[in-house]
A and B are shown apart, each in its own frame.
Chain A
Amino acid sequence: MDKHADGFHVAFVGNPNCGKTTLFNAITGAKLKVANWPGVTVEKKEGYVEFEDEKLVLIDTPGIYSLSTYTIEEKVTRNCILDDDIEVIVNVLDASNLERNLYLSLQLLELGKPVVMALNMMDIVEERGMEIDMHRFPEMLCDIPVVPVSAMKKRGLDILLHAVIHHKEAVTLGEVFSYSDNIEEKIEKLEVVMSAKYPNHSSARWHAIKLLENDELVSEEHPVDVSRIVDKSYAREIIQAKYSYIDEIVKECLFNKSKKEAMTDKVDRIMLHPVFGIPAFLLIMAFVFLLTFALGDFIKGYLEILLEWIETGVLNSLNAINVANWLQSLIVDGIIAGVGGILTFLPNIIILFIALAILEDSGYMSRVAYVMDGIMGKLGLSGRAFLPMILGFGCTVPAVMASRALETDKDRKKVMLITPFMSCSARLPIYVLISGLFFGKFAPLVSFSMYVLGIIVALLSAFMMKLFDKSTNNNSLLIELPEYKRPNLRSIRIYVWNKVKDYLTKAGTTIFVASIILWFILNFGPHGMVIEAGDSFASIAARVIAPVLKPCGLDMWEIVVALLAGVSAKELVVASISVLFSTASSSGDLLEGIKSLYPAFGAANALALMVFSLLYTPCMATIATIKKESASWKFTLITLIYELAVAYGVSTLVYQICKLL
């Protein structure tokens, strides 16, 4: 009988990077992010599907190596599995790496819940000339259904769902294989104690084993006095026993263990080279950004022509039907300049995301953790902490969430504090626009230098925190390096499309509304509609703050408005600058507008503006995420103040130095 009204609950559980999310996407039609590095999924996600007149609720979970957990995202999975809500566990395995994947499977089977095994990546197994004895294999695993699938090629999915539905009532006894007599005896005694105290407990054997391993969480959740039975931790013996059983399975069921892994090893000889590893990484990143700026700007040129053409067209037709002047101004100077201005940066952003997607899907991503481990170690962090920072080039919000994969709370907070310095894609338009106006053919280089500056400030911040932090650092890198593979077109399309959709949605909502609000506060003052923007509400308020920014050469009220607007979404910095300055010149030209209002505004001011925009307070969405992930307002506030102070300091420094030159 079904326990839930919405259908019965099926959890996808497996090692990191074995393809759970790809399988989940393939079955539910969802478009969750997939990539080729361990730890992409950090939250559980639900999806719904109907099959053979049954409603299923599928739950995708973050990958785990074992049920003894360690990091936050692993706890998410553990709690989800142990929750009695889950009726069937689909254990997803990377069939090309059975040996390691089976360790978790044995633990899941010991739970005694219905388990269906999905052997994913069978195509790779076949490609490598390996064979799995599909008769003997399930026999050695309590006769659970084992379904070969290929999530990528969408093969075997119906068979898997069929097995799930038909297997939901089947409960395994939890005894996959026997431990040594001594341990089995203790398990038996513990099971008796457990069932006496918790008669409804469904996974007595698993619990008994966990108690023998001295698992803290288990003894916390179901306290029983077992001191007479558990005289020491048997964790080591239990793990050893599991692995010897796995060795047996592999020996009996796996044939032609592969030799064809040479490609990954060859590439790694360069990518992980002790000397060339770091230059190789820097070259890749330089290539990514130069491509973003050089090629992106080229395409952007055409979009701008298109936008101008639309602007004139709209203006002419509004004139033709005698629309009031103020409404014309709102539509052309407010909405088209604001929203349209943002849309012209789409080529840069698409190129950046394609490059990042390829980087993530090729398998290089977790190598970066190894390559950067030496440098990060000097800053008191493990190389793993560099991954959220790279994700920060895309968007700070998922980057902050990715810090969950770090082991300690201290490391997580450090990473949350420095990740906003990594220049996200919303800040990219600022560099493209400003450096394009003031630096001519050096524009791509200047834009690129902002990314480098962001990394340097982030690393220096980490270094400073290390100086203040007296405790010894126990950071030890531990990450799996997946095989390289050709990036999958579908994964890249999902990745890029999700980001582009976000960007377009933002342009259509936040930026649309903000552009209208901006237009109003710029065109209305205490005495109604104004002719000079200098008499507007915005100007009156922003003039109060402007003098504070004098040391960094940004004491213009228009810039204050732009920066304030940018806190709601960084794209708004560019949108506001376009709206504010282009109205100041008769031709609508931005540079002319700036020069007519502030003749002294030059390259030094421009550089300071970019630096300030790079480093100052992150956007609302990021602030909310930092609050959620750190669960501390105090920490969030410290982060905001620190970032504002750094922005002020560094942009002042840059401005003053440029003045001297």
Chain B
Amino acid sequence: MDNKTLWSIEPGKEVSVERILLEDDLSRRLEALGLNEGTILQVITKKKSGAMVIKVRGSRLALGKQITSNIEVKEIVCG
């Protein structure tokens, strides 16, 4: 299956992070928060503006559009 940007994912879906295309500073910060390549996360809600709330490693993060549109993910097929 092809990679998609995180912000195209609908709420409720689980995805795994494939690539983080952000500047070093920001991606390192995300990594410190537990969001790195291979991490599985769940989309809780999102807004048209591109902001999202995700659940990753047991904590909830609110992410702005600049971040959600620069993370490539792969949907996990249930079952």
State in angstroms the CA–CA spacing of A100 and B61 once bound together: 12
Query: Contact at B45–A272, with CB atoms within 8 Å?
Result: yes
Q: Which of chain A's residues has its CB closest to B56's CB?
A: A100
Distance between B52 CB and nearest chain A CB, rounded to angstroms: 9
A370 — which chain B residues lie within 8 A by C-beta? Answer: 51, 53, 62
Distance between B76 CB and nearest chain A CB, rounded to angstroms: 17
Partner of B49, one of A235, A374, A475: A374
A383 — which chain B residues lie within 8 A by C-beta? Answer: 51, 62, 64
**A450 contacts B by Cβ under 8 Å:** no
Residues of A contacting B: mostly: helix
What 0/1 readout, one digit per residue, does chain A (478-519) give for beta carbons within 8 Å of chain B? 111110000000000000000000000000000000000000
Distance between A403 CB and nearest chain B CB, rounded to angstroms: 18
Q: Which of chain B's residues has its CB closest to A96's CB?
A: B58
Query: Contact at A477–B67, with CB atoms within 8 Å?
Result: yes
Q: Which of chain A's residues has its CB closest to B46's CB?
A: A274
Distance between A175 CB and nearest chain B CB, rounded to angstroms: 21
- Residue total for B at the interface (Cβ-Cβ under 8 A): 33
B37 — which chain A residues lie within 8 A by C-beta? Answer: 236, 240
Distance between B19 CB and nearest chain A CB, rounded to angstroms: 11
B65 — which chain A residues lie within 8 A by C-beta? Answer: 377, 476
Query: Contact at A235–B51, with CB atoms within 8 Å?
Result: no
Query: Contact at B62–A369, with CB atoms within 8 Å?
Result: yes
B62 — which chain A residues lie within 8 A by C-beta? Answer: 366-367, 369-370, 373, 383, 477-481
Q: Which of chain A's residues has its CB closest to B60's CB?
A: A481
Query: Contact at A65–B36, with CB atoms within 8 Å?
Result: no
Query: Contact at A100–B57, with CB atoms within 8 Å?
Result: yes
Query: Contact at B34–A475, with CB atoms within 8 Å?
Result: no
**A182 contacts B by Cβ under 8 Å:** no
Query: Contact at B32–A476, with CB atoms within 8 Å?
Result: no
Query: Contact at B28–A475, with CB atoms within 8 Å?
Result: no
State in angstroms the CA–CA spacing of A479 and B61 once bound together: 6
Most chain B CB neighbours (cut-off 10 Å) among A66, A96, A476, A480 = A476
B67 — which chain A residues lie within 8 A by C-beta? Answer: 476-478
List chain A positions with a Cβ less than 8 A from chain B: 65-66, 68, 70, 96-100, 103-104, 233, 235-236, 239-240, 243, 257, 264-265, 268-269, 272-274, 277, 366-367, 369-370, 373-374, 377, 382-383, 474-482
A–B Cβ pairs within 8 angstroms, 13 of them: A66-B28, A97-B57, A97-B58, A98-B58, A100-B34, A239-B36, A243-B34, A264-B60, A370-B53, A476-B63, A476-B65, A476-B67, A478-B63
